[in-house]
Structure 1
Amino acid sequence: MKNIRNTRGQVIVLVMEDAHAYQSGNDEAAVGYLEIPASTGSVRADFPELAGGRYAVIAFHDENRNRDLDLEGEIPVEGYALSGARDAYDEPPFQRAASKDPVRTIKMHYLK
């Protein structure tokens, strides 16, 4: 993950292999889950147990450590990232978000 704005809280990373779970953001269906202490700039998430397959990544900067992406209405007040997203407003379908590449860099977006 790159573009982390501060050291508050943690970055939560979910790895999804199922299109329906990815589209719904069903964290219980994640095949990989990490909570990483936030670090200004970037953090690294490794999932050595996940070999092969196509995976999509969902992540967010949980600045207040409540394990939820906080919203004001429908607007995130914490950073979020989706693999395959072209910008902060892009919600890529699973087919574009998922990749076999084990090394990927995705950008955290902040709207507030």
Structure 2
Amino acid sequence: MNDFLNDNIFDVPCDILVIPISTAGTISNSFRNGLEELNISTNLWEYKDYELGDVKILPQKSENKYIAFACTVDEYDSAYYAIRLIGKRLAEKLTELKDIREIASPRLGT
């Protein structure tokens, strides 16, 4: 089922959170604050090299949630192909994780 909510993704019950990240490994302050509340260390994701369309799922759950970083932005631009690639790669990775039923994600590429 597809539900579109106007809510903070950190407040939504889910199995995995998708966090948009730039090619330089930066995220917005609101996502940084949410990750800090989940005790996600910045050294797991910050300032690593990413390419548009990359998806990285952290191996450890935090509060029973997986955290996925999806590279949506190169400097200040995004691209339609990157968003489609994220969807494809996320689907491939989620088939390996048996217990994923609910995904919380902001609108990517906006």
Q: TM-score, normalised by structure 2?
A: 0.29
Whichever structure has more helix as a proportion of its residues is: 2
Q: Which has the higher contact order (CA 8 A, sep 6+)?
A: 2
Q: TM-score, normalised by structure 1?
A: 0.29
Whichever structure has more strand as a proportion of its residues is: 1
